[in-house]
Structure 1
């Protein structure tokens, strides 16, 4: 009985190893890198508390472009200005594919400028750049918005009465307000409850995506997606943001003037109306 049990366990482990190896070898030709182990990949070469130092050490051996495996997921590492420029500028078309994390894929399902891919992403990118230019991106008008927001930021600094303070939250609110003025058509007062709630939701979502559980889920999504647990908390955070934006979009739709778009949302609603009969969208 014990021999049969041991044999069963051995066969199960053998099948898992073979499956993992086949999956790793199916990614095609990748840059060189340390040999990954089945299931755990290169975790032995990358210390979780010293990821940057671990990657720098690997660069010394494999060069500025190399591959490491986080579990069964291959990740190509680009080190240094020259490698990044060659990939993202000189060969921008070849590297235009956009791979997202499973934690994001399940929620966004390939939609949105940041999470789309292929032709959908190219169309969204063209549309977004056109709208942003119309609202002053890269022009004097956006400079004026930044200068205006800088005055509000200085006002907040003065309220500290020259006492030591943590600047991160002040700076994040200023940058977010410039983005909000384009997306939502107006800036928020720093004490605005709705604005503070949005900032907290965004901050919480990024913190949750950075947790060990979320990263573990990204690596072993094929197994963990069938089970509840801490790795699913990120979806509650993202849902809060979705509801916030949906509320703003509904408000815009109710007062929409197609001939006088006020912000990015109005432009997007107009574009949706133009293309609603297009079966490709």
Structure 2
């Protein structure tokens, strides 16, 4: 009887296995096709079923793998992150063509599983549609009102510089981890603009917010999170995802605590920062229903967008973005000065000759071409956001002869722009001459895309430029940076740490005080 049952089961087993093999064959053949009814697909490495090209990727530093693949497949190619198709754009001309010349087509944000966890469709950085448009517009307007990139910001930065210098002087030339005071100082600038006031470097709330922001950025670049984005059903077993979620919960609690305090002392006639402006806008819409609305409000229905989630996640986006990239860039700058003392000497000679002992001002930038070139070269060389933040196509398009379907993830490979061998004389070395002409005058380079480009260009670019110049020149004016005792310049490691953004590996430097100004 058992034998008969087994025999009866054989046809169904054969049918099942045949169906599996048939679907597998269709899957492989579909990936092997280089064209569709709409046009030609970009080239790329052949993917494995389900795994895609995962096995050839350096999951901790995927930008390196993508740069190597671009040498074989060209400036527009396709890879598969697991089952997901991703278009990679490499090189200055191609990235500019997409983000600037076809800004609308490439202007949407790709919301990965992790990005959904981080922002849930709210805020400024990781959102699309009307909510993103309104929050970005509101943020830009209000950040400018609170001095972003203007004299008001310069005054905030100059004040913060005095606190940072005191922190460095406390160590009396002994080795210190420069990343902590530098990150706190930079974070206080965006805090003053967003919350209306700075924090003490010893404030437990502030320390917790900064540390959680930095940890999440680091975890976002881990291999396990890359795997989660490919196979989100693995989420419950990924420790780093659990840590990120906990940090988000704690972050929301901390931000709402600050918001409650600001709400209790809110004066609609005298807004102190971005949060105050948001609260006033929100309260106005709650208690006052205007009989007439602007055309934009009618078409976009913006009233409903001013809620607590958009407030919390917008504040989070501004705080994290305003802390991490600028802080990392300054840390790279100090490390590079210690690594290349002859460059540091030239910067300090120029600062002494042009400024002397007074506090540097933004207007000094035009008279400090070499210092300005060193700052730009630090941004280029450090390559802080190597893969940008992924975009997605807003419609079906044909780009440089290839068909790209609406909703396809697109990675503008910024590292391939900042290290483009056709644009930079020595792209893989630290060379301030990239931004100087033969007479030593500063020159702008179109391939300098450290802030990305197009619709998603960094909204805090003007503030970041001001911070980098004022913090860097003020620190180099007063301190000489060198390796700690027993460490040579050659020993200083320029390998970036693993993370969504690229900061230097943990290190210490000595900051020897130069003058009493």
TM range (shorter): 0.7 to 0.9
Can you list the C-alpha shifts for 1:97-156, whole angstroms capped at 9, x where unaligned? Answer: 011321231352210011220222111111100000000012111122122222222221
| Paired position in structure 2 for 1:261 | 271
Does the 8 Å CA contact 1:103/1:234 hold for their aligned counterparts? no
- Find the aligned partners of 2:94 and 2:253 in 1 and give their Cα distance: 40
Query: 2:156 maps to what in 1?
Result: 145
Closer, same or farther: CA 7–236 of 1 in aligned 2, 3 Å: farther
Q: Is the 8 A contact 1:34 1:42 kept in 2?
A: yes
Residues 80 and 259 of structure 1, relative CA distance in 2, 3 Å threshold = same
Q: Per the alignment, in what secondary structure is the counterpart of residue 94 of structure 1? A: coil
Change (3 A) 1:259 1:224: same
Is 1:244 equivalent to 2:265 in the alignment?
A: no
**1:128/1:11 CA distance change after superposition, 3 Å:** same
Equivalent pair of 1:252/1:266 in contact (CA under 8 Å): yes
**Aligned mates of 2:122, 2:61 — CA distance in 1:** 34
| Change in CA separation of 1:18 and 1:120 when aligned onto 2, cut-off 3 Å | farther
Residue among 132, 135, 145 paired with 1:134: 145
Where in structure 1 are there 5+ consecutive unaligned residues?
none
Number of residue equivalences: 278
Q: Counterparts in 2 of 1:107-118, with a 5 A limit?
A: 107-118=118-129
- Shift, 1:11, TM fit: 4.6
Match of 1:64 among 75, 86, 92: 75
User: Pairwise mapping of residues 30-41 of structure 1 onto structure 2 (< 5 A)?
Assistant: 31-41=42-52
Q: CA deviation at 1:193?
A: 1.5
Aligned to 1:240, what secondary structure does the other structure show?
helix
Match among 202, 209, 221 for residue 220 of structure 2 = 209
Contact 1:145 1:178 survives alignment (8 Å): yes
Quick check: which has more Rg, 1 or 2? 2
Number of the residue aligned with 1:89: 100
The 5-angstrom pairing of residues 1-281 of structure 1 reads 8=16, 11-12=19-20, 15=23, 31-48=42-59, 51-221=62-232, 223-224=233-234, 227=236, 229-230=238-239, 231-276=241-286, 281=305
Deviation track 1:61-109 (CA, whole Å, cap 9, x = no partner) reads: 2222322211122333232333333222333222220113212313522
Question: In 2, Cα distance between the equivalents of 1:233 and 1:49?
Answer: 18
Matches of 2:29 and 2:158, distance apart in 1: 55
Distance 1:137 1:74, change over 3 A: same
Q: Is the 8 A contact 1:173 1:190 kept in 2?
A: yes
Alignment CA distance shift 1:204-1:53 (3 Å): closer
**Deviation digits for residues 183-227 of structure 1 (CA, Å, limit 9, x no counterpart):** 111111111211111112112222332333322211112x335x4
- Change in Cα spacing, 1:172 to 1:23, as seen in structure 2 (3 Å) is farther
Q: Would the aligned equivalents of 2:113 and 2:229 in 1 still touch at CA under 8 Å?
A: yes
Alpha-carbon separation, structure 2, partners of 1:93 and 1:106: 26
Over 3 Å counting, the alpha-carbon distance change for 1:50 and 1:207 in structure 2 is closer
Give unmatched runs, 5+ long, in structure 2: 1-5, 290-300, 306-517
The CA distance in 2 between the partners of 1:50 and 1:159, in whole Å, is 37
Give a deviation string over 1:10-54, Cα, whole Å, max 9, x none. 75576477579879999x876432232221111233233653432
Q: 1:13 to 1:164 in 2, by over 3 A?
A: farther
**How far apart are residue 182 of structure 1 and its match?**
0.8
SS at match of 2:85: strand
Q: Structure 1 residue 8: deviation in Å?
A: 4.9
Structure 1 pair 183/233, CA: closer, same or farther in 2 (3 Å)? Answer: same
TM-score (norm 1): 0.85
Distance in 2 of aligned mates of 1:48 and 1:208: 12
